[in-house]
Structure 1
């Protein structure tokens, strides 16, 4: 009988422990200290694009995501947590990156995400790590030379769901029609098939698409500033502070410039000085 009671006691203790552990694990993101957890695990989980050439693109040969933002995230991880720290990457899109951050699937977003007042209502941003500007990608020889031409010709502009680019075009070219696709790969396919006269997003992304598609070019200059920042939950002040310190250190020790040159040195018309603005 005593043996049975001891067994039942042990079982109840295990159940209680499981409940406690489960409760801790289900703690909402707003109550977690992400930076402290990352320091203990020596790992930062980043949300990155996998469809955006130069910034984050899936290499089908080895199954790894590669690009400027991926390399910058790796450098930031080691700068923040030590040389033996590891960066973990999870693929996001413009429409999934915010929910995944809020759900705690990722610690931070480094995925061509523009720092805007509207987004700052939901998340906080690091200092700028890439100063982009919105532009247009068109087929060479197109009559569309700038955003005003889209407005005059009442053309169709292509964009991506979850990006603010289409909204920006609507403000300066209200006569233009809008077609939003799931990702940039689909948007480029739509442009090639004639579903739209121009594709709009940040010039950094468009440069990558023009490199991959020589028959298309970036045109019209920039009509909206699009400073990229690393997004994290509003309550993660220690993580934000550590990220900003690391960004400054990478700029000071030359790592940032090396990464920028590695990924953009062969992009025609790329302005290093503009992109590196803080």
Structure 2
């Protein structure tokens, strides 16, 4: 089958090429609402500042700081700026993507950004959105390029020494995506000798580093996970390893690909902040308490029904928060 003929979803080849070009940029301001100097592009790798927990002693990385609606230095900085600067994705269908029909950023993660902005600033639209590829999420926080990252970011022991996380707002896992006709059956020996695309700085890359099953992947590492779908569609990769939630959204864009096998990890997404910004972490956890509340009528469930239920059916609610003393 000529996979070039399979390109569909939003925008076909032209739309995908545009999306990949945007994802390749290190840091791109997506929306400037009187952002001033805050909207300037910056780059360069970040340097970790401080240690939240050592990976060799980490047993419960999802345990975050208790929720609080109190202020603090990082919250006051956001209020003074009048905008929340959020690092997001603009290419992950249903999570954070620019809708080609109206040009607006939409998705499950975007709804959460809006809820945080409304709580801190009283206005859900008081946001400067910045598109960041997977590999730039942590440096963007460390270099003060964004206040928060809300971008399907997994909480784990490696990362909690580099950035601070809110309590978990979504549960996912790593999974394999491949063409329907492929003999690949999941994260197993059927990957041997196959070209597998993966995003740099992702937990999927870490998983392949531990056990690749003979897959060829290091030369197929890309800045953003959507680039992997394009490579798969063009026949440049045989499979993709990514979060199950993102894999489902990619399968929704192209009915010629499907999830293969079950998720082989259990992971939780959190809102990330700079390591020192504990007041902001507590405030985001306060937002999440309200966001989860109300059962089937909660803002979380509404966002789930609006954006994810069609591709990820059967989820009955958000993960329970964990806190540390």
TM-score range, shorter chain: 0.7 to 0.9
Distance 2:247 2:133 in 1: 16
Q: Give the equivalent residue in structure 2 for 1:161.
A: 200
SS in structure 1 of the partner of residue 130 of structure 2: strand
Q: Give the equivalent residue in structure 2 for 1:245.
A: 286
Give unpaired runs (5+ residues) of structure 2: 1-47, 50-71, 321-325
Whether the 8 Å CA contact 1:108–1:230 is kept in 2: the answer is: yes
Greater share of residues in strand: 1
- CA change 1:71–1:84 in 2 (3 A) is closer
Whether the 8 Å CA contact 2:89–2:97 is kept in 1: the answer is: yes
2:163 counterpart of 1:123: yes
Distance 1:200 1:84 in 2: 34
Q: Give the equivalent residue in structure 1 for 2:147.
A: 107
Pick aligned residue for 1:227 from 265, 268, 276: 268
Deviations 1:169-200 (A, max 9, x none): 33233421102122233211211222222101
Once superposed, what is the RMSD of the aligned Cα atoms?
2.1
Greater share of residues in helix: 1
Q: Which structure has the larger Rg over C-alpha atoms?
A: 1
Deviations 1:220-240 (A, max 9, x none): 111112211111111101100
SS in structure 1 of the partner of residue 146 of structure 2: coil
- CA change 1:85–1:194 in 2 (3 A) is closer
Pick aligned residue for 2:179 from 128, 139, 163: 139
Whether the 8 Å CA contact 1:150–1:173 is kept in 2: the answer is: no
Pick aligned residue for 1:171 from 210, 216, 232: 210
Give unpaired runs (5+ residues) of structure 1: 1-28
Pick aligned residue for 2:190 from 141, 147, 150: 150
Pick aligned residue for 2:300 from 227, 235, 256: 256
Q: Give the equivalent residue in structure 2 for 1:276.
A: 318
Deviations 1:106-139 (A, max 9, x none): 1010011111111111101000111111101110
SS in structure 1 of the partner of residue 196 of structure 2: strand
Distance 1:85 1:218 in 2: 35
What are the equivalent positions in structure 2 for 1:165-204 lying under 5 Å apart?
A: 165-178=204-217, 179-204=220-245
Relative to the length of structure 2, the TM-score reads: 0.71
What are the equivalent positions in structure 2 for 1:71-90 lying under 5 Å apart?
A: 71-83=111-123, 86-90=126-130
Q: Give the equivalent residue in structure 2 for 1:16.
A: none
What are the equivalent positions in structure 2 for 1:26-105 lying under 5 Å apart?
A: 33-83=73-123, 86-105=126-145
Distance apart, 1:162 and its partner CA: 2.1
- CA change 1:67–1:85 in 2 (3 A) is closer
